[in-house]
Amino acid sequence: MAASTRAAARAGAKASEGPRAMLRVTQTKSTISHIARNRATARALGLHGIGTTVDVVDNEATRGMVRQIRFLVRVEELPAGGSQEKA
């Protein structure tokens, strides 16, 4: 089986799962004067500056990333099914 076929099969399997838990990550402090690894981790999560908020899938990888920059961010767990809707 080709690598791309395996990747597609895994992606298809994940897409058929039910709603996934999400984390809402908000950057609360600047990455200026922090090591490059912390700046890169914040960028990889989609954070671009103070006050930026992103919703990311709650899995071991993203939790590890958040743990590495926990002093720069605030984290909220969202219920399974994605973002909360505003009325």
pLDDT in tens, the chain (87 residues): 565 555 555 655 555 566 789 999 999 999 999 999 999 999 999 999 999 999 999 999 999 999 999 999 999 999 876 555 554
Backbone angle region of 81, left / alpha / beta, with phi > 0 → left and psi within -120 to 50 → alpha: left
Q: What's the pTM value of the predicted model, to 2 decimals?
A: 0.71
Contacts of 53 (CB under 8 A, 6+ apart): 24, 25, 26, 27
For CA atoms 80, 82, 83, 86, give the dihedral sign.
Answer: negative
In a domain, residue 40? The reply is yes
Count of domains forming the chain: 1
For position 87, what pLDDT does the model report?
Answer: 44
In a domain, residue 10? The reply is no
Q: Which structure tokens are listed for 64?
A: 């590890």
Domain range holding 47?
19-78
In a domain, residue 65? The reply is yes
